[in-house]
Structure formats: C-alpha cells, structure tokens
Amino acid sequence: MYSVKELFYTLQGEGAQAGRAAVFCRFAGCNLWSGREQDRATAVCTFCDTDFIGTDGEGGGKFATAEALADAVAKAWPGGAEGAASHARGKPYVVCTGGEPLLQLDTPLIDALHARSFEIAVETNGTQPAPPGLDWICVSPKADAPLVLTSGHELKLVYPQPLAQPERFAGLNFQHFFLQPMDSVLQREHTKAAVAYCMQHPQWR
C-alpha cells in the first residue's frame, strides 16, 4: 500500500533539473516531523512548509499496488500512458517527493515506473537508504539528522540552518551543490546570505 498526498503535472522549479516537465508524486508521511503544527517545536525539521499529511490532495490516494500507482503517474503525463510510452512529448519524468519518499518508494514501484518509460527522480532528506534503480537522487539535509545517503546527483541545502552548515556537506560525492534560501519572513536576508556564500564558495550555486 502506497499513501500519496498528491500527484500532479508541473515544471520542476528547483535545482539542476529546473524547468523540466515532470509528474510530482508527493508521498504522505515523514520521519523528521509529523506534519502537525503542535509537534513543530519538537521536530527535527522545524521549518518545513509542505503539507504531506493524509491522501486528500490533487490526485492523491491510497494505492494498493505498485502497478496501480505507476498507472496513475502515467495517466498524469501529457497523452497519458500512450504519451509516456511513445516519448512524443519528451522523456517522461517523475519526481518522488514528500514528506520523505524513501519511507515508501521501493523496487516494485521503481520497476513499474521504468516499465512505463519514466525516468525516476527522488527528493529525500537523506536519512533513509535508497533502493537501486533511481535515475536522479537529490538529497536535502535537514538540521542534524544523520545522513545515510552521502552520494548522488544533487545536494540541495535549505540555508541558513544552524545545525546544517554547508561545510559539513561540501566533501560528499554529489555532482551539484545548491543553496536554497529558507522561506520565512526573513527570506530577503536569507537570499542575500546565500548569494554571499556562493560568491565565496563557487562549488555552491
């Protein structure tokens, strides 16, 4: 059983794949915060702004099998399953996110999505092992949560985080390193700080 908060077609707006058309599959649940405001103060990740509770979002639901969820992903691609299979509108691309997608994303679902011609990306907090077969791994570390995933394609760090300084991750085995200004009432200051850091440390973008 897979619990999905929402499933929708859009453009990737962040990181190395920015601008690419994708189906977003947002899994319900996370291991760093319950998603409930009353628990925020005691959460590992206190700044999350994503609603990942339940299965009541656009396209969301409970899917009994990997095949059923993969069919729903393919249906969300332009032209549906036939469009995905034909590549008529480009290589089909799905972003598995959350919450924490690696609490649910498994080999049967990866195989089912590949069978429908999808390239599979995951956006994870990096605290869970990744099953084999993923085409793009983006790790977004949170606070002092221990990382299990220390290599991948992209590391995207919400900045600033007092317990997650960029220097802690700069030596890890990733192709791309991004700072994402933390979204808050101080976003302008956070953006300036991120720009200044990237100017001084060109490894980061």
pLDDT, average across residues 149-164: 96
**What is the pLDDT at residue 106?**
99
pLDDT above 80: residue 89: no
**Using CA atoms, how far apart are residues 34 and 54, in angstroms rounded to an integer?**
11
Across the chain, how many H-helices and E-strands are there? Answer: 4, 8
Q: Which pLDDT score, from 0 to 100, does residue 193 have?
A: 94
Per-residue pLDDT tens for 15-63?
Answer: 999 999 999 999 999 999 999 999 999 999 988 989 999 999 999 999 9
- Residue 44 placed within a domain: yes
pTM score of the predicted model: 0.93
Tell whether 201 is covered by a domain.
no
Give a yes or no: residue 53 inside a domain. Answer: yes
- Residue 151 sits in a domain whose CATH number is 3.20.20.70
Q: What are phi and psi of 99, to 5 degrees?
A: 45, -155
In a domain, 31, yes or no: yes
Check pLDDT > 80 for residue 171.
yes
Residue 121 lies in a domain: yes
Query: Residue 176 domain-assigned?
Result: no
Strand segments (E) across the chain: 2-11, 21-27, 61-63, 93-97, 119-124, 136-139, 151-159, 173-181
Sheet with 21-27: strands ordered across: 61-63, 2-11, 21-27, 93-97, 119-124, 136-139, 151-159, 173-181
CA distances from 129 to 15, 121, 145 (A): 21, 14, 14
Q: For the chain, how many structural domains are there in total?
A: 1
Task: For residue 134, give its domain range.
Answer: 2-158
Q: Is residue 181 part of a domain?
A: no
Residue whose token pair is 């702004």: 49
